[in-house]
Structure 1
Amino acid sequence: MTIRFAHLSDIHFGGENQAAVAAAADHVNSGQFDLVIVSGDLTRYGEKVEFEAAAEWLASVKGPKLVTPGNHDAPYIAVAERIFTPFNRFERAIGPARAQSHLGGGFAVRGVNTARGAQPRLNWSKGQIGPRQVREAADWFSEAPPECFRILVCHHPLMEMIGGPMTARVWGGAAAARAFAEARVDLVLSGHIHAPFTWPYPFGDGKTYAVGAGTLSVRERGVPPGFNVVEIEGAAIRVAALAWGGSHYEPYRTWSLDRRPV
């Protein structure tokens, strides 16, 4: 049995690459995916009209979806709202912000919000994950059947991508990565840096992998707009980063990862 996921991130409605976004929906709708995952930053500034566009696009995408917010999904301009109720707009338009989950079909997926509307540091757009969030996610995975493929979804990479175009600087990220490796999570999917990547966490058996997706916005950082296709078949995990070439999607990079024994 092959399990297929579409992993998209950083669409930034309000500043999206319109052709790439429309083609991504067509590609996903024709791909027979078991789950469509969006790892945050659906909007550019968290404006209501941007959320309306995001919700309309998500409704056009077939099949089950799991969507977690990113830092751009807290209002940038409405400062008071960003500080006190940062994800109200997300929840009204998209769904739960704090955590999301999907269990069934041989896989377990948990979304965790690493974005904050305000932090005790100047750059509030960087990530943060608390011990309670980690504990709740690990406990949820512990109740899933042992044969399930386990995926954690968050917006910010918990540990920095080596040579990446920008940083996430997630407070609590390294401890969370270690905990998820010990919980035998297979993949930790993220976005934020607008570039695709895979690499194993240096914890446990080395078979918990960080996987990042690119962007579908005009805010490119040296990589064309695109998204990932993840396939699990037996002991193999295949990740293909697809890039928008102006008329169609084509492979940009591919990775083959070893799945830990069930």
Structure 2
Amino acid sequence: MTRIVHLTDLHFGFHRQAMVEPLLERIDALRPDLVVVGGDLTHRGLPGQLAQARAFLDRIAAPVMCMPGNHDVPLWNPVARTFWPFAGYRRLFGPSLTPVGRAGDVRVMAINSADPYSWQRGKIRAGEISRVIGHVDPIGTNIAALHHPLQQLPRVDKALARRATEALSRMEAAGVQVVLSGHLHRWAVDELLATGRHPRVLQIQTGTALCARLTDRQNEFALLDIEGADLRLERHMAPMQAMAFDPPQVGQYSRASGVWRRV
């Protein structure tokens, strides 16, 4: 069995400082094989916020891979935003914006969906879909991880990332079985599966891990336990007025039939 923690939307600089230690303690107790951090590590991409995020990740014992979100580029420096939007991110989190991680027979391919020229809307760059497909393991579990969702429910009022629909269709056909995303600060798994549009991809849209925005209602993260065609999904939540994470909500999923089903 392979254990993967998915964190996203940490928003250091506008985060719940009181939840930093409980989050680290819960991650440590889960003993994941890999921690995937799906962007918006910071709130405004400022040097001090990037340093806070780096210090947080350095305290996680498990291997960590991350990718930028739209909040990780400099908002108030138009020159840097235009000519070197990811320089600060690269300096602290490594030169690759699209790392590939492996744990057991699970492969995780990151996609950089942050568009410095569009504050909220993401994009899938030319060549990204083919790059991910080129890393697909034909006999393992393949996960694509990015900040922006590739499918959205009707209640979402944000524009879908450019080329998102093409990316999801092509990756599904190539053998990507799970997509991890964030950005919306809203959990969505079963509702996306129920649309029936992409039955061979389990899309896990995880809410914010640390953001202090009260309208988000809770901080949360996901734990994936993967064994062959089966996936156990835990949703760990801490209500905004709480100072600790509640026991997780658990869902069991299987793709043994060729498509994902909740069991």
* TM-score, structure 1 normalization: 0.89
Counterpart in the other structure of 1:255:
251
What percent of counterpart residues are identical? Answer: 28
Change (3 A) 1:104 1:28: closer
C-alpha distance in structure 2 between counterparts of 1:224 and 1:252, whole Å: 13
One-letter amino acid of the structure 1 residue matched with residue 227 of structure 2: E
- Which runs of structure 2 are paired with 1:1-262 in the superposition (5 Å)? 2-119=1-118, 124-141=119-136, 144=137, 146-164=138-156, 166-198=157-189, 199-200=192-193, 202=196, 206-215=199-208, 216-245=210-239, 246-251=242-247, 253-260=249-256
Aligned pair count reads: 252
C-alpha distance in structure 1 between counterparts of 2:96 and 2:25, whole Å: 26
Q: Match of 2:30, SS?
A: coil
C-alpha distance in structure 2 between counterparts of 1:97 and 1:219, whole Å: 30
Q: CA deviation at 1:70?
A: 0.1
Change (3 A) 1:221 1:184: farther
**Contact 1:107–1:149 (CA<8 Å) still a contact in 2?**
yes
C-alpha distance in structure 2 between counterparts of 1:137 and 1:235, whole Å: 20
- Any stretches of 5+ residues in structure 2 without a counterpart? 259-263
- Any stretches of 5+ residues in structure 1 without a counterpart? none
C-alpha distance in structure 1 between counterparts of 2:9 and 2:70, whole Å: 10
Q: CA deviation at 1:221?
A: 3.7
Change (3 A) 1:220 1:192: farther
Alignment RMSD (CA, Å): 1.9
Question: Moved runs in structure 1, 4+ residues, more than 4 A?
Answer: 201-204
Q: Match of 1:242, SS?
A: strand
**Contact 1:194–1:220 (CA<8 Å) still a contact in 2?**
no
Which digits, 9 at most, give the CA deviation of each residue in 1:100-122, with x for residues without a partner? 10134111110010001114xxx
* TM-score, structure 2 normalization: 0.89
